[in-house]
Amino acid sequence: MMLGFTVTQSIGAAVRLGLPDLVSEGPRSASELASAAYADPDAVRRLLRTLASLGIFADEDGIIRHTTMSELLCTSATGSLAPQSLVLSGVHYRTWDAALESLQTGEAAFPKVYGAPFFDWLAGHPEEASAFNAAMAAGAAGRGARLLDRDWSSASSVVDVGGGTGAMLIRLLTQRPGLIGTVFDLPQVRPEALAAIEAAGLADRCSFAGGDFFKEVPAGADVYMMSSILHDWDDEAAGTVLGALRRAMTPRSRLVLLEHVVEPGNKPDQAKLLDLHMLMVLGGKERSEIEWRHLLAHADLDVITIGAGLIEAQPS
């Protein structure tokens, strides 16, 4: 477990060298791959041996082939994990340099390492912002699956608050032709979001609104969805976002949150790892059912359902 960082970095290095895409062009030896990647043959052989021992790539008599996991690291794979791996092994990884301070103060480590809060820093680093947006968009399909199962029959309008480049809303609107939607996010996300909406052929049913969800969100929608937003923030900041949402909601509006619900007990759970990562990057947290109920009640919202990554609430 203490060597866990070697896994994060080995995966990130393989993606940076372009090895998954090269293997997709055809299985070949580690030294051929190294030469195509302009890297050291012995070092690449050892990298691939390590990854193959974890099920990422397979080494069959010296020929490197894909496995289900290594395929997910190809840039063109559906739901590619390549962008996440770059963010986690890059900008996010270095955040943990200030982990001790973060644990001593309860505040985010990111500003101590990078000199500014995460989203402010991204605003000044467009390349890293694009990588982060791509990472979130790639994961949106998985996170959004539960959303599609929800009963949408009584809704006609939906706002995806902090919707990034719109991946999740685009998927929802594609499957529910009766819905119109708005992606709400920081103004700098607009160009990438509009390009994605246009590319999906949804320009007539989907718009983008730029703004700050701590202040105001578009009013009067039937459904407000927020995916992986409130876990970015501590209770005070999350309460402010919920306050802005509550002011925008009508008495009949619904709030749908796609978030982890941390189970009690000592079972291994990715949410517990992410909880610490959220603390480091943003001062945020993953919440238990009791914590969700408390946070929502404080914002004058009643929980309708909670569990399996989806929480639905309505105005009290």
Ligand X SMILES: C[S@@+](CC[C@H](N)C(=O)[O-])C[C@H]1O[C@@H](n2cnc3c(N)ncnc32)[C@H](O)[C@@H]1O
CB of 237 to ligand X, least distance (A): 9
Residue found under tokens 């041996």:
49
Task: Choose between 197 and 229: whose C-beta lies nearer to ligand X.
Answer: 229
Smallest distance from the beta carbon of 221 to ligand X, in angstroms?
15
Distance in Å, CB of 226 to ligand X, minimum: 7
> From the CB of residue 250, how many other CB atoms can be counted at a distance below 10 Å?
11
Q: Which amino acid is at 166?
A: G
Which sign does the torsion angle of CA 287, 293, 295, 299 carry? positive
Rounded to the nearest whole angstrom, what is the least distance from the CB of residue 43 to ligand X in the complex?
A: 34
CA gyration radius, the chain: 21
Residue type, 157: S
Q: Which tokens belong to 200? A: 């999906």
125 is catalytic: no
Find, among 155, 153, 134, 149, the residue nearest to 252 by Cα.
155
* Residues of this chain that bind ligand X (CB under 6 A): 119, 136, 140, 143, 162-164, 168, 185-186, 189, 212-214, 227-229, 232
Instruction: Return the number of the residue (22 or 202) whose C-beta is nearest ligand X.
Output: 202
> Which one-letter amino acid corresponds to residue 309?
G
295 close to 235: Cβ distance less than 8 angstroms: yes
By residue count, the chain amounts to 316
CA dist., res. 223 & res. 153, Å (int): 12
Tokens read off for 190: 């607009």
Distance separating alpha carbons of residues 134 and 15, to the nearest angstrom = 15
Residue closer to ligand X (CB basis): 101 or 212: 212
Residue in 66, 92, 231, 260 annotated catalytic: 231
Rounded least distance, CB 102 to ligand X, Å: 18
| Shortest CB 212 distance to ligand X, Å | 4
**Dihedral pair phi/psi, residue 185, rounded to 5°:** -160, 180
Closer to ligand X by CB, 67 or 130: give it: 130
Q: How far apart are CA 124 and CA 132, in angstroms?
A: 13
Closer to ligand X by Cβ: residue 163 or 283:
163
The nearer residue to ligand X, 12 or 164, going by C-beta atoms, is 164
Residues designated catalytic: 231
